[in-house]
């Protein structure tokens, strides 16, 4: 009589995921998704205003002097406490004097803090715009409030950033739009009218208008970390 030997089940555990493991993975995915969504909405949709730059008394005096070189007389509201009133400054300027360009200052230099302080004179703009200076690059960050009737994002504030290369080469200025980003996403060059990475001076500097006049009036441009320097031609 043939003896039948019972087949024993393998003790090797199943390779599939347990129900508890699947639940843990789903929960972890949900937590990460919620966290990323909260960060995105907080950073790019409900963006907080920028903090305006405030100069100390000495920095404000230097800035006022540079603005006067450009022909702009800071008013009392533009200056820090202790400055003379705008009326007195106007009276000092409005005095008979023979015109001359001898010894005139043709080099204009602004620090990053000074540029942002100029923006800060307009309180509404200062909370929406900030400028950064690095080697041959001017970068700007802008908060754009959307109208309440705007589809989907109505009443929200979007974050926009842009970069412009600015330098001086081959005897003329170089101005190149490096890009524009919306909510951290770079906008395709085709959507920018094909102007991305194009030297605007070379493209439009010989066609008359603004860019030609700008190029012909500038003797040098130097943008470095935290500083912008422009030299004007006679």
Chain segment 7-51, per-residue pLDDT in tens: 445 444 555 567 666 666 666 665 555 555 545 555 555 555 556
Q: How far apart are CA 234 and CA 159, in angstroms?
A: 40
Higher pLDDT, 31 or 125: 125
Q: How far apart are CA 215 and CA 207, in angstroms?
A: 12
The confidence score (pLDDT) of residue 6 equals: 53
Q: What is the pLDDT of residues 161-194, one digit of tens each?
A: 999 999 998 888 999 999 999 878 899 989 888 8
Q: Which tokens is 187 given?
A: 């906008």
- Predicted TM-score (pTM) of this structure: 0.63
Q: Any idea what the Cα angle at residue 50 is, between residues 44 and 54, rounded to 5°?
A: 170
Q: Tokens 């006067």 — which residue?
A: 68
DSSP β-ladder status, 227-232 and 107-111: antiparallel
- In terms of phi and psi (left: phi > 0; alpha: psi -120 to 50; beta: otherwise), the region of 152 is left
Q: In 3D, which of 113, 117, 119, 118 has the Cα closest to residue 133?
A: 113
Q: Any idea where the domains of the chain sit in the sequence?
A: 51-80+105-126, 128-234
Using DSSP's 3-state secondary structure scheme, residue 123 falls into helix
Q: What is the pLDDT of residues 49-68, one digit of tens each?
A: 556 667 777 777 777 766 66
**209-224 burial code (b ≥16 CB/10 A, e <16):** eebeebbeebbebbbe
Average pLDDT value for the chain? 75
Give the neighbor-by-neighbor strand order of the sheet with 227-232.
107-111, 227-232, 218-224
Q: How far apart are CA 188 and CA 105, in angstroms?
A: 41
Residues 77-94 have a mean pLDDT of: 56
Decide: 135 and 223 in contact? Cβ < 8 Å: yes
């Amino acid at each position: 009589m043939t003896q039948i030997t019972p087949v024993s089940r393998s003790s090797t555990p199943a390779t599939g995921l347990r129900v508890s493991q699947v639940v843990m993975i789903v929960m972890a995915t949900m937590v990460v998704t919620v966290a990323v969504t909260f960060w995105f909405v907080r950073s790019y949709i409900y963006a907080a205003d920028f903090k305006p730059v405030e100069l100390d008394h000495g920095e404000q005096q230097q800035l006022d002097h540079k603005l006067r070189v450009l022909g702009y007389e800071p008013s009392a509201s533009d200056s820090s406490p202790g400055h003379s009133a705008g009326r007195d400054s106007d009276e000092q300027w409005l005095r008979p004097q023979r015109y001359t360009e001898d010894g005139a200052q043709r080099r204009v230099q602004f620090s990053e803090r000074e540029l942002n302080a100029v923006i800060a004179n307009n309180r509404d703009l200062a909370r929406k715009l900030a400028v950064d200076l690095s080697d041959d690059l001017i970068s700007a960050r802008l908060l754009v409030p959307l109208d309440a009737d705007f589809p989907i994002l109505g009443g929200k504030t979007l974050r926009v950033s842009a970069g412009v290369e600015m330098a001086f080469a081959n005897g003329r200025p170089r101005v190149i739009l490096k890009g524009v980003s919306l909510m951290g996403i770079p906008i395709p060059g085709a959507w920018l009218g094909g102007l991305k990475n194009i030297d605007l001076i070379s493209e439009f500097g010989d066609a008359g208008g603004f860019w030609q006049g700008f190029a012909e009036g500038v003797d040098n441009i130097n943008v470095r970390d935290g500083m912008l320097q422009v030299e004007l031609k006679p």
